[in-house]
Amino acid sequence: MSSPALDRGRPRAVRLPVRPAVRALPVGVAVALALGGLVLVSVLLRTTALHAPFWIDEGLSVGIASHGFLDIPGVLRLDGSPPLYYMLLRVWMSIFGDGQATTHVLSLGFALVAIPVAYWAAAGTFGRRAGLFAAILAAVNPFLTYYAQETRMYALVSLLALVVAAALVRVFVFRRRAFLPLFSVALAALMYCHNWGLFLAVGTLAALVPAWRAARDRRAFLRDVVIAYGTVALLYAPWLPSLYFQALHTGAPWSRRPSVGDVFGPIAGILGGEPVPLALALAAGAGLATIVKVRGSDAAVVGQPTEVAASVRRTTAWVLIVLPLAALLVAWTASQVSPAFAVRYFAVFVGPVLLLAGVGLAHAGRLGLVALVIICVLWMDPRTKELESKSNVRLVAAKIKADVYPGDLVVSVHPEQTPVLHYYLPDGLRYADSISLVRDPLVFDWRDALERLREARPSRVLDSYVSSLRPGQTLVLVNPIVRGSRWRAPWTELVRKRSAQWQRQADRNPNLVRIGAQPRFGNRPLTRGVRATLYRKTAAPRDLAAERRARRALELAP
């Protein structure tokens, strides 16, 4: 027992305050915060041009979606597209309206949803690092940034293709049969959204080859193949008669047969420019090589022995490689028979390519991390200026709307411009194109359009239009601005030719007096879009010969 006196001489123990241990965030919370941050960055990047004006295709989108919900499939027999996007847009417009920003937001939503879906697609097969890399790529990819601000179906196509690729791997490589309905529904929805979904469907069949070779129970594997694709066929069967009719009568006469070199431009387009594909291919390729070649790997992905996990990873990598390559080969081959080749159609490859790139970069070590940073920096340009300058129809309509009145006739020499002209011009106007009077200005009739345009002689068609006008009424001739454009396909070449012919015929028509034109070019460079020339019908025909003699006399006067 110690006395108080002795205790006073002993040093006292210092009691330090107890600090609570720093606890790491639960994995689920950390992932949610990371994805939320990526979504926020993506929103900032992809809302710079929400108010950009509509161009030709967007005018068609809003026009088609302005019809009744159940009428849209029938209307699309004139257009050549499947109906899913337009029906979704119809529902959206009925709630939020048909404004430029409000319809662009629908596409923005699809692009934003692609971010967590990309994480889910990659993390479930190659781990959280791969999932995070894929989500980062989806958040800043320029193709998605561009089409997130356009009233077209390409953001939705990219999202659906990503779901198809992820479900394909889960069903036929990891053999998780619970995802079989998701695969079938997503693939059918993709085919109902864009016709190039058919090419990706063929690509999925080719991608089944490495999965089948690695399958333990091939009989069960083939049974699931029959169930999955049988379901897709049943879901898509109602659209087949319309698809057959479109193939016979619409097509894509504005496109031309692609060469082998034409493939690389669209690939660079979906990857944001020429420097990126090479860097991405080298870095991601290095990572994919480690997956394909290495015999031992982390078994935590599937919770099985190491050699089994390595085999599953190799098979998954081959499936993801074969899928877009086979689909691209089919698309290119089909376009040799019936040309339909455009950069925006490559939306069906964006999802699988981003998934494959995320997986490859995640397995490329420091090289993959450095490449990811460099690619993200290069991809941060939202290309807003290009979206704002795709069409000048809104500006032209604003300049001429005070000079047109109900009953006046708007003639679009570039026929598919009619819906976007109708969107921006005042109500009560009549519409025609270089083929005939237009009954429904909300949609362009592509049925045998090239043949009909060839048969429509400008002088005869213009005379019929002028005869439908009363003296004092206005004819608005809307010509495409073709100087500097690369219009080499059968349709666009003929439209270019007709544009010059229609301008000459209108200027020489004795019943029309030219009263103005917009835009006025002067010495300014040409814009992209259209030029509207206004003519007023006279009470008495003009004496064109006298006008030419008077003009000649003025030129010869001292």
* Domains of the chain by start residue, with CATH: 27-387 (no CATH), 391-556 (3.40.50)
Which residue is associated with the tokens 């993390």? 123
For residue range 309-361, what is the model confidence (pLDDT) as tens digits?
778 888 999 999 999 999 999 999 988 888 888 889 999 999 999 999 999 99
81 close to 195: Cβ distance less than 8 angstroms: yes
Residue 537: what pLDDT?
94
Residue 210: what pLDDT?
94
| Rounded CA separation 500/555 (Å) | 25
For residue range 113-144, what is the model confidence (pLDDT) as tens digits?
999 999 999 998 888 999 999 999 999 999 99
| Rounded CA separation 545/558 (Å) | 22
Q: Burial level of 53, CB count in 10 A (0-12/13-18/19+)?
A: buried
Residue 340: what pLDDT?
84
Phi/psi region, residue 319 (left: phi>0; alpha: psi -120 to 50; beta: rest), is alpha
Positions in the chain whose pLDDT score sits under 70: 1-24, 273-275, 294-308, 484-485, 522-527, 542-558
Q: How many other C-beta atoms lie within 10 A of the C-beta of residue 297?
A: 19
Residue 15: what pLDDT?
58
Alpha helices in 76-153 (DSSP H): 84-96, 100-126, 128-140, 142-147
Q: Per the structure block, which two tokens stand in for 304?
A: 């099985």
**Which helix (DSSP H) or strand (DSSP E) does residue 431 occupy?**
strand 430-433
**Which helix (DSSP H) or strand (DSSP E) does residue 532 occupy?**
strand 530-537
Residues found in the chain: 558
Residue 262: what pLDDT?
81
